[in-house]
Amino acid sequence: MIAGNWKMNMTPTQAKDLIEAMKPAIGKAKWCDIVLCVPFTDIQAAVKAAKGSRISVGAQNMHEEEKGAYTGEISAAMLIDSGVRYVIIGHSERREYFGETDEKVNRKAAAAVAAGLRPIICVGESLDQRETGVTIEHIRMQIKAAVKDLTERDLKKVIFAYEPIWAIGTGRTATSEQADEVCREIRACLRELYGARAARAVSILYGGSMNAKNAESLLAMPDVDGGLIGGASLKAEDFAAIVNAANQ
Ligand code: PGA
C-alpha cells in the first residue's frame, strides 16, 4: 500500500487538480493499494475526482464516539457516508499537538473498525528515544496499547505505519535497515498477540521523508509493506514515482 498524507494542505479545488494530475501517472499500477488521506473539507472533491481510478480516499483523524455533543469533531459514520474507506489514527503530529494518548488511539482504532473503516495506526519514536536505545520498547508499548481488546478479526482491517518522529518532514529518512528492523519488531509483537498467520497478513508501512528517490530501496525490505507519504504526496509526479516503485 502507498498512502499519501496531505496533512493541512490543499483546498478542494487544489485537491481535484492534484488527483486529476495523478490519475494518468499511476494508471498502470496494479499491485498496490493507493490511498490519499486528505483534509475533511477535501473529501467530497477527492472522492469525485478519484472515481473510476485505483485511488481510495482516506481521512487523517476521526472522533471515537458514534455521535453527540463534540463540537468540531467528525465521526466514522460521517466519513463512510462521504466515501472514505481509510483513516489515519495516532499520527505523531496528533499525539504531539492535539494530546492524543495511547488510550485515545486505541478507542479511535476500535471505533473505526467497528464502523467499517480501515485504520492506519501510526507509531514511532523520538530522536531522544532512538539515541537512548529505547526504540523497540517504545514501539512495542504503542502497538500493544493501540490494539488492546481488538480481536483477530478486527486486526485484519488494521494497517500499521512505522513513522520515526525524527524522520517526518525533516528530509532525514531512516535507513532501509532501520525501517525494516522496526517493522519486523511490530510484526513480531503482533505475532505474540495474535499468532503467526494473523501477523503475516498485516500490512506495515514505513513513513518519514519517503520520496521518489529512496522509495525503491525502502519498499524492497522484507517487512516494509508500503509507505505513508507526507510531503511527496503533494506532487503528482513524485507520488506516482513512489507508487510505481511499489509496483516493481
Ligand atoms: P513526510 O511525512 O513524508 O513529509 O516526512 C510523513 C508523515 O508524516 O506521514
Output the DSSP codes for 70-97. Answer: -TT---HHHHHHTT--EEEES-HHHHHH
pLDDT digits (tens, 9 = 90+) for 12-64: 999 999 999 999 988 777 889 999 999 999 999 999 999 999 999 999 999 99
- Cβ–ligand 1 contact at 210 (below 6 Å): yes
Please state the φ and ψ torsions of residue 85, each to the nearest 5 degrees.
-120, -20
Q: What distance in Å separates the CA atoms of residue 130 and residue 101, rounded to the nearest whole number? A: 20
Residues 239 and 22: their CA atoms lie apart, in Å, by 8
Write the pLDDT tens digit of every residue in 214-246. Answer: 999 999 999 999 999 999 999 999 999 999 999
Cell of 242: 513512489
Q: Which of 162, 210, 200, 203 is nearest to 183 (CA)?
A: 162
Paired residues of 4 in beta bridges: 36, 229
Residues with Cβ within 8 Å of 103's Cβ and at least 6 positions away in sequence, in order, are: 145
- The pTM of the whole model exceeds 0.85: yes
Site to substitute for ligand 1 among 9, 166, 172, 210, most atoms within 8 A of C-beta: 210
Is the CB–ligand 1 distance for residue 3 below 6 Å?
no
Q: How far away, in angstroms, is 6 Cα from ligand 1 center?
A: 9
